[in-house]
Amino acid sequence: MSPGTCRRNAQAAPPLARARRLAFSARASSVAPPMTYDFRAIEARWQSFWDEHHSFRADVDPERPKYYVLDMFPYPSGDGLHVGHPEGYTATDIVARYKRMRGFNVLHPMGWDAFGLPAERYAMQTGVHPAVRTAECIVNFKRQLKTLGFSYDWEREVDTTDPRYYKWTQWIFLQLWGAFYDPTQARARPIDELPIPAEIAAQGPAAVRRYRDDHRLAYLHDAPVNWCPALRVVLANEEVAEQVEKGLVVVRRPMRQWMMRITAYAERLLTDLEGLDWPASVLDMQRHWIGRSDGAEVRFHLVHQHDADASAIEVFTTRPDTLFGATYMVLAPEHPLVQRITTPEHAAAVAAYVERATRRSERDRQADAAEGQKTGVFTGAFARNPANGAHVPVWISDYVLMGYGTGAIMAVPGHDERDHAFARAMALPIVQVVGVVGGGGAHPIADAAFSEPGVAINSGFLDGLPTAAAKQRMIEWLEAEGLGRRRVTYKLRDWLFSRQRYWGEPFPLIHRSTPDGDDEVVPVQELPVTLPELADFQPSETGEPPLSKAEAWVQLPDGGRRETNTMPQWAGSCWYYLRFMDPSNDAAPFSRAAADYWLPVDLYIGGAEHAVLHLLYARFWHKVLFDLGHVGTREPFQRLVNQGMVLGATYLPKDRRRHADGSAVIFKPAEVESLAPASDEWRVKATGELVDVQWDKMSKSRGNVVNPDDVVTQFGADTMRLYEMFMGPLEHSAPWQTDGVAGCHRFLQRAYRLAFDGDASGTADSGPDRLRELPPGEGSDRQRRLLHRTIAAVSERIDRLAFNTAISAMMIFVRDIVEPGEPLHRDALAQFSLLLAPFAPHLAEEIWRALGKPHSLAHEPWPAADEALLVDATFPLVVQIQGKRRAELAISQGASEADITSLALASPEVQRHLAGKTPRRVIYVPGKLLNIVV
């Protein structure tokens, strides 16, 4: 530490000392001015102190255990923070500060997920470059976070839009591009190690290159994608729902796009969820999204082969036991066999249906699905059911999805609701091959499909077998006959990774035309590939990315052309937790040594909205980096907690009337007032109309957003932090209530007066010697017991992340520690300030300093509770009769059960309630309760 900083601190101290002197001298002259809790001065002072002393710097230290506690870093929007952000940040900060005091080497970083559409839109509206706008927003976000006193190691700040950061995002992309997934070893390997089949090698270097390109984890794919005309951008499957919800149209449209082969990792992404300490709902959503199904692949041969390459249709089914009931087949409209098997007389109808299906929006299809409507056309082709040889018609319909299974199904209308609906619509035969167990096989199969497990009927060699056994038997038979095999499929699809936007990471790739006319993609050797300057950020209507307008940047002197798509916003957030470990490394994204020390993230807190997208993508990249030897853990985030939402109030008219455009009429908090000070009833100020309160997610349009700056200005950061945690359990959503903030502020004021004023109770003796240094063991026994109970309670509750109840334990301490006439033990106050430190660090430091401690308490050891003081000489015993509480007795610790029983039976209340009846049985719960049964 430099002498300069020492001097500045020496200068910072006098106001504090002066304040205390003033307080004491004022009391001596019995004027007694109110000692004010000047949180503005206190918070400003300690925030600069922490900055100047680098109090929260973390460095790799193999001698100490590490703890990595991470927030989901924010997108720095123009609106600044709302009070929802600091909820999770406060929780992680409490844990970070607590773990530091527990002796852990704590990594607690913050950064900016700063690529994204809003900055680009802002640029189109105002002409301000996204980089300029982003920098402004970051300044504001950082200022706001700093005023809240979070113990981040700001030297590790990262910004995903900084070329020094995205250089490594590009580098990781090239790792994926340069790798393939080896299913035999179930891991990624360098693409150079990909075995090239002899027949490919024989075709020459171009064929080998194409073969390699087809196996890379990042690959170009020409296929229908989700195109959003309004945004002029393609969307990942995972992103479609969000935009559709906003009312935007998303259509399928063929485009050539970069994909990530996340499907290769489906099984590992699924099974590795097992060891994670994550919320059940997130685990569930990930499992669901990966969507593993166990079943069989079955080959149906075509009856009349018009085309030698189209001899059979492969289907996937989870119900091979129902094969005897397959009465028709359906191909997805995009299925490659459709053109080849369609007979001439059906060609026109099929072509029309395919054309319509490919152009229909996702939304229309979903609407049909919701109504159970099925459409489709017959191809004219027939296939042979391998189980019974029956000739079944082959249809096409958009209820069969090309992206799942084989893009073709065997339809069993008797036992599948969708097939049943289609069969009824198209008048196709329905047969029953599964009977109700014990029900004599009867089921009104014509009316509804029977999709429950049962027992096989009308199924030849399967008859009589329960569903599970019939599945096994059928798979064995198919495998023996060479007609099919066991197969596992996943709903997970490959990740569409390119976007037609400006404000994102450029792909570090160059396209070159080869002599044989192919498009060869080669990596850029020198990273980063920085974004070119651009005046017009709009993609073209046809989907040409904005970067294609930067011709000088795109066109290279050697004839190559740069890739003009950019990466999706997820790219930067996929690995930021890794960069935090080693943020200024310019030789690698992070060192293996740093990774080995800091990984995994021990606690990760953020919103539930990232349950699938971010958390699945980050896990995928992490696994690839694991396979390639860059990290040593299989999973990035060991423990995950989703904080709830902070809700804001809006007010609705009693009749719930709507505006002409259909939107609900709402009143903002500023437009209403309560009927009376105590009233829960609200009315519109202007008209006096009565309205109902409604609590919603905060949003600008609802006008119910609370700005942390206002709360910090009025009450201070410590109050803000405390209230965020006191609202309720971290995982719960809760309304923001200004009255509750004031309650937390009052607690801090009491704590302040306890330390500085000596008049917390208003009745106790006050004076300079009240804060006496008492010899160890002296002071009130009651006070010492209260202190140690508080230490035990706060510690255990932080461990459980039950912050609201930890705060209530501290409130009790401040309320009860000093009774009239009692002095306050200096050590008790010192220990209390340590307990308070994770929650209200500024005030805690202030008290600690006032007690004459020379250093910050940030690294002070956490207080230990004395077990002996947690047990009282007597305990209250509840006496129940017939399970109803009737009396409470003070019992000394060592009393025997027999003594306790006779004491209880002798007590007047018990005698009265027994009313002469004799106890039949007495149940004693040691230290707690005695239940008398009569």
Partner RNA sequence: GCCCGGAUGGUGGAAUCGGUAGACACGGGGGACUUAAAAUCCCUUGCGCAAGCGUGCGGGUUCGAGUCCCGCUCCGGGCACCA
Closest separation in Å from C-beta 163 to RNA: 34
Nearer to RNA (CB atom), residue 883 or residue 908: 883
Q: Which of 77, 707, 805, 907 binds RNA (CB under 7 A)?
A: 805
Closest separation in Å from C-beta 387 to RNA: 15
Q: Rule CB under 7 A: is residue 90 a binding residue for RNA? A: no
Nearer to RNA (CB atom), residue 509 or residue 748: 748
Backbone phi, psi, residue 437, to 5°: -65, 125
Q: Which residues contact 664 (CB under 8 A, 6 or more apart)?
A: 652, 656, 658
Yes or no: say if 635 and 272 are a contact pair by the CB < 8 Å rule: yes
Nearer to RNA (CB atom), residue 114 or residue 266: 266
Nearer to RNA (CB atom), residue 188 or residue 411: 411
State whether residue 510 is helix, strand or coil: strand
Q: Rule CB under 7 A: is residue 359 a binding residue for RNA? A: no
Nearer to RNA (CB atom), residue 45 or residue 420: 420
Nearer to RNA (CB atom), residue 534 or residue 905: 905
Q: Rule CB under 7 A: is residue 680 a binding residue for RNA? A: yes
Q: Which of 271, 540, 687, 882 binds RNA (CB under 7 A)?
A: 882
Q: Which residues contact 682 (CB under 8 A, 6 or more apart)?
A: 651, 672, 673, 674, 675, 690, 691, 692, 693
Q: Rule CB under 7 A: is residue 377 a binding residue for RNA? A: no
DSSP-H helix ranges across 800-862: 803-816, 826-836, 841-850
What's the chain's length in residues?
934
Q: Which of 100, 418, 610, 623 binds RNA (CB under 7 A)?
A: 418
Closest separation in Å from C-beta 729 to RNA: 4
State the sign of the Cα–Cα–Cα–Cα dihedral 229, 230, 233, 236: negative
Binding mask 470-499 for RNA (x = CB under 7 A): -------------------x-x--------
Judged by CB under 7 A, which stretch of 256-264, 526-534, 713-721, 874-882 contacts RNA?
874-882
Judged by CB under 7 A, which stretch of 23-31, 517-525, 539-547, 727-735 contacts RNA?
727-735
Q: What are the tokens at 810?
A: 């501290």
Q: Rule CB under 7 A: is residue 749 a binding residue for RNA? A: yes
Nearer to RNA (CB atom), residue 45 or residue 418: 418
Cis peptide before 528 (omega within 30 of 0): yes
| Euclidean distance between CA atoms 220 and 214, whole angstroms | 8
| Residues 273-332 within binding reach of RNA (CB under 7 A) | 280-281, 284-285, 288-289, 291, 293, 295, 316-319, 332
434-435 and 929-933: which strand pairing? unpaired
User: What is the maximum alpha-carbon separation in the chain?
Assistant: 111
DSSP 203-234: T-HHHHHHHHHTTBSEEEEEEEEEEETTTTEE
Q: Rule CB under 7 A: is residue 246 a binding residue for RNA? A: no
| Euclidean distance between CA atoms 768 and 757, whole angstroms | 9
Nearer to RNA (CB atom), residue 175 or residue 880: 880
Q: Rule CB under 7 A: is residue 821 a binding residue for RNA? A: no
CB neighbours of residue 59 within 10 Å: 10
Q: Which of 14, 15, 34, 336 binds RNA (CB under 7 A)?
A: 34
Q: Which of 762, 821, 852, 854 binds RNA (CB under 7 A)?
A: 762
| Euclidean distance between CA atoms 40 and 842, whole angstroms | 10
* Amino acid symbol at 486: R
Output b/e per residue, 99-136; b: 16+ Cβ within 10 A.
Answer: bbbbebbbbbbbbbbbbbbbbbebbeeeeebbbebbbe
| Residues 389-408 within binding reach of RNA (CB under 7 A) | 398-401, 403-405, 407
| Residues 428-467 within binding reach of RNA (CB under 7 A) | none
Judged by CB under 7 A, which stretch of 177-185, 339-347, 497-505, 923-931 contacts RNA?
923-931
* Amino acid symbol at 433: V
| Residues 581-610 within binding reach of RNA (CB under 7 A) | 608-609
| Residues 883-922 within binding reach of RNA (CB under 7 A) | 883-885, 888, 921
Nearer to RNA (CB atom), residue 69 or residue 744: 744
Judged by CB under 7 A, which stretch of 42-50, 214-222, 585-593, 926-934 contacts RNA?
926-934
Nearer to RNA (CB atom), residue 522 or residue 933: 933
Closest separation in Å from C-beta 362 to RNA: 9
Q: Rule CB under 7 A: is residue 336 a binding residue for RNA? A: no
Output b/e per residue, 172-191; b: 16+ Cβ within 10 A.
Answer: bbbbbbbbbbbeeeebbeee
Closest separation in Å from C-beta 773 to RNA: 26
Judged by CB under 7 A, which stretch of 76-84, 388-396, 591-599, 734-742 contacts RNA?
734-742
Yes or no: say if 843 and 829 are a contact pair by the CB < 8 Å rule: no
Nearer to RNA (CB atom), residue 517 or residue 654: 654
CB neighbours of residue 439 within 10 Å: 11
Q: What are the tokens at 390?
A: 């029956």
Q: Which residues contact 886 (CB under 8 A, 6 or more apart)?
A: 879, 880, 909, 910, 913
Q: Which of 416, 582, 635, 846 binds RNA (CB under 7 A)?
A: 416
Judged by CB under 7 A, which stretch of 93-101, 112-120, 475-483, 809-817 contacts RNA?
809-817
CA nearest to 385, candidates 434, 441, 320: 320
Closest separation in Å from C-beta 740 to RNA: 5
Nearer to RNA (CB atom), residue 137 or residue 228: 228
- For the chain, helix, strand, coil in percent to 5 are 40, 20, 40
Question: How many residues lie near RNA (CB under 7 A)?
Answer: 93
